[in-house]
A = this chain, B = another copy of it.
Amino acid sequence: MYQSPQRSINTLLLKRRRRRRAGIFKKAGELSVLCGAHVAIIVFSGAGKVFCYGHPNINTVLESYQNGLSSVVRVNEEAGDLLVAEFNKEYVEAEKEFEDLKRKATGIKQMADEKKKMMKEMNMSEGFWWDEAVDLAMMDEREWEQYFKALEELRRKVAARVDELKILNGTMMGPPVPAVHHRLCHVPFMTSNNCFGNCQDVQFGSGYHDLGV
C-alpha cells in the first residue's frame, strides 16, 4: 500500500520507538525477575503517551522512593548519563570548534577584503608601507581557505548529526541538555525476603549510594 514519504518515515520512527520501549520494558521485567529488584519505569513518549511499568507494583516503588527521599541523609551523587553526556560533549565541542573557526575565518576574511579594497582604491599593487601587512593577509587568506574548508566540513558534519537526530526523533529540537540525567541516591532502603512473593514483609533499613553504572 502506498505511503507518502513523510508517512513512511513516521512509520519507521514509530516502529523504532515502539521497539525501544518494548525493549526497555522487557529488560525491566528481566531485572525484576532475574535479580529480584523492585523497579518502576515511567515513559512519556514524545507524542505524550504514558507507558508505565512496576514490579511488584509501580505505586509501591514510587512510594518507597518518596519515603526514602523524605528521610534522606545525603542525596544525589550525580553522574551524567553516559550516552547523553557523550553526545552532549560531542555536540558542544563540535559547536565550539565551529564557532572558533568561524570567528577566525571572519577576521581573516575581513583583513583580506580590506586589503583588496585598499589595493583597488589605490590602484596599486606594491611598494607601500602596508606591503608587509598585505603579505601577511595573503598568507592568512591561504590559511583562511584551509580553515574555510575545515569549517564547511565541520558545519556539514554538525548539520548531518542534527539531521540524523531530527530523523531519529521525528521532531525539531534544540541543542541537547547538558543537564544531569542520571542521579543516584543514598537513601534508606527497602528489602524483602520474598522478592518473588507478595511483598508483605517489606522492611526498611539503610543503604549506600552506588554509581551502579
| A residues with CB within 8 A of B | 16-18, 20-58, 61-62, 64-65, 68, 81-84, 87, 165, 168-177, 179-187, 189-199, 205, 207-210, 212-213
Contacts and interface: CB of A to CB of B under 8 A. Distances in A.
A194 B24 CA distance: 23
Nearest to A35: B17
Given A36-B171, A54-B183, A44 B64 contact: yes
A29 B213 CA distance: 12
Contacts of A199: 177
B31 A43 contact: yes
Contact of A181 (B35, B54, B62): B54
B179 A56 contact: yes
Tell me the number of copies of this protein: 2
A18 B35 CA distance: 9
A52 B183 contact: yes
Contact of A177 (B64, B185, B198): B198
14 contacts: A18-B212, A21-B31, A22-B212, A24-B31, A33-B84, A39-B43, A42-B61, A44-B189, A50-B65, A53-B181, A53-B182, A54-B181, A62-B65, A173-B194
B29 A17 contact: no
Given A17-B35, A41-B39, A174 B194 contact: yes
Contact of A25 (B172, B182, B195): B182
B47 A191 contact: yes
A49 to B, nearest CB: 5
A82 B46 contact: no
B38 A44 contact: yes
A17 B37 contact: yes
Contacts of A193: 171-172
A55 B35 contact: no
